[in-house]
């Protein structure tokens, strides 16, 4: 009888551990995903000063000497990305961008609304 209780407790502990591990893995994987641009544009205050990842196609690109900006479209919306020192991808490129959402960026003398200050980008 005591052996079966111990076995039952061990089985329950293994199930709880597996559940906790799967919840943590799910949380970590969802944190690494991209955010839809429409969500950022719909609620910019929620994302202000937060790091995000977005992916899409470059629709506009401008800059000089590794500094400038570009606009990307992920199919749900468009957003400008400010790039300082990492280079600017050319129009038509598919990119994944990591950066911080900021409001009121000025690029080469032109003011833009909600933008992403790029940390880095990866071309596909």
Confidence of residue 109 (pLDDT cuts 50, 70, 90): low
pTM of the predicted model as reported, rounded to 2 decimal places: 0.70
77 within 8 A of 38, measured Cβ to Cβ: yes
**Residue 17: both structure tokens together:** 């551990």
Other C-beta atoms lying within 10 Å of the C-beta of residue 39: 15
Closest alpha carbon to 48 in 38, 60, 36, 40: 40
DSSP state letters, 40-102:
HHH-HHHHTT-EEEEEEEEEEEEEETTEEEEEEE-SS-EEEEEEESS--PPTT-EEEEEEEEE
At residue 8, the pLDDT reads 61
pLDDT in tens, 9-55: 666 676 776 656 656 554 444 456 899 999 999 999 999 999 999 99
At residue 74, the pLDDT reads 97
Between 118 and 108, name the one with better pLDDT: 118
32 within 8 A of 15, measured Cβ to Cβ: no
At residue 85, the pLDDT reads 81
pLDDT in tens, 62-98: 888 778 899 999 999 999 999 988 789 999 999 999 9
At residue 27, the pLDDT reads 47
Instruction: Identify the DSSP state of 111.
Output: E
């Amino acid at each position: 009888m005591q052996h079966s209780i111990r076995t039952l407790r061990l089985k329950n502990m293994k199930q709880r551990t597996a559940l906790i591990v799967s919840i943590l893995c799910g949380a970590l994987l969802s944190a690494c995903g991209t955010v839809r641009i429409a969500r950022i544009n719909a609620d910019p205050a929620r994302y202000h000063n937060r790091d995000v990842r977005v992916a899409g196609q470059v629709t506009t690109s401008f800059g000089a000497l590794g500094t400038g900006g570009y606009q990307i479209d992920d199919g749900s919306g468009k957003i400008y990305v400010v790039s300082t020192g990492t280079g600017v991808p050319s129009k038509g490129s598919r990119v994944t961008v990591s950066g911080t959402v900021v409001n009121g960026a000025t690029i080469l003398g032109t003011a833009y609304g909600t933008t992403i200050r790029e940390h880095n980008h990866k071309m596909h």
